[in-house]
Amino acid sequence: MKAIILSGGKGTRLRPLTYTGAKQLVPVANKPILWYGIESIVRAGITDIGIIISPETGDEVRTKTGNGDRFGANISYILQDQPLGLAHAVKIAQPFLGNDPFVMYLGDNLVQSDLNLFLDDFKSNHLDALTLLCPVPNPTAFGVAEVDESGRVTRLVEKPKVPPSNLALVGIYMFAPLIHDAIANIQPSARGELEITDAIQYLINAQKNVEARQIEGWWLDTGKKDDLLEANRVILDTCADTDMKGEIDESSQVIGRVRIGARSRIINSTIRGPVIIGDDCVIENSFIGPYSSIASDVELLNVDLEHSVLLQGAKITDVHQRIVDSLVGQRAKIVEAPRKPKALRFMVGDDSKVEIA
């Protein structure tokens, strides 16, 4: 069995960060979102993985992710010249997939469930397609499935005005090779894309064996800043541990589950976990509160930070108001804020500089 992971798209909801980088490489708990999907697929025993990339961000994805050795996988890269839909991604991946069944995984999704459970179901029941679902409070924002009592999918609707259920398509699918015939027989939607929901509906209409299962635990869509911060919070809450590789001076205090990378220095500061700090950071005269992820090479001086994600090389100095709910890009600088009672919230792109007067 093989897998494809979709890592294209423009990431418009995460701009300005995604003007300069792939949304799937934005880190959650200091690990690119894309890598969680790769690790989940490898844990399920699938090591032959194709990653669908775009012309704009494909080189960055390829450079940072590599050939798969770090994951125990063999990764191939498949260029999708234009974002023409999920089914189009499967279509261009057909030479890689051949006649093998496969998993399709959207690269900006995070799920807690073990894929093995669903793969066993898919194989043992000889299914033509298996979709994973999760109940959501706002189904109009997703592809939605209507499922009968036996678990068979009877209808799929993309972002319906009147949803047939509250069961959203999670973005993880398992397909038999028959899906290629279905894609060959559908037409682009009104938005000009080949929709995977249309291809699955084609299988349903042809009386093929299409079923759905609800995932257990959390499902995190990381397409927006607040969603990404929530994903960071959940991952830190469930997976953070304590590992102190850096230097902590006697005037500093580290409380709770905190991971500090190699050669990082904590000087006259308080770190209250869960928090993860990368390598070669300098944190001085600062407070780092819960649910913060700080990448490598970050400098913080006279900073009060909580529930935020800082990317590699960011630098914040002399900001005397609390920074919360913020996403700060690579090498961005935030400097000199006077003391005021309100907290600050940022979403700052790569290589930016913000001065607060």
Residue 286 three-state SS: coil
- Does the pTM of the predicted model rise above 0.85? yes
pLDDT attached to residue 355: 58
pLDDT tens readout for residues 10-29: 544 454 555 555 778 888 89
Identify the CA nearest to 297 among candidates 270, 346, 264, 336.
264
pLDDT attached to residue 339: 61
Q: How far apart are CA 216 and CA 214, in angstroms?
A: 7
pLDDT attached to residue 112: 79
pLDDT tens readout for residues 107-121: 888 887 888 889 999
Q: Say which DSSP state 132 is in.
A: E
Q: How far apart are CA 99 and CA 113, in angstroms?
A: 27
pLDDT attached to residue 46: 96
Q: Quick one: 266 exposed, middle or buried, by C-beta within 10 A (0-12, 13-18, 19+)?
A: buried
Identify the CA nearest to 287 among candidates 322, 335, 333.
322
State the CB neighbour count (10 A cutoff) for residue 68.
17
What is the CATH code for 240-355? 2.160.10.10
pLDDT attached to residue 11: 47
pLDDT tens readout for residues 159-193: 888 888 888 888 899 999 999 999 999 998 888 88
Please state the domain extents for the chain.
2-224, 240-355
pLDDT attached to residue 18: 52
Residue 344 three-state SS: strand
With a cut of 70, list the residues of the chain below it in pLDDT. Answer: 9-21, 222-223, 337-343, 345-357
Residue 302 three-state SS: strand
- Give the tokens for residue 338: 């006077």
- Give the tokens for residue 87: 């089914």
Burial 292-301 (b: 16+ CB within 10 A, else e): bbbbbbbbbb
pLDDT attached to residue 1: 94
145 bridge partner residues:
156
2-224: in CATH 3.90.550.10: yes
pLDDT tens readout for residues 252-261: 999 999 999 9
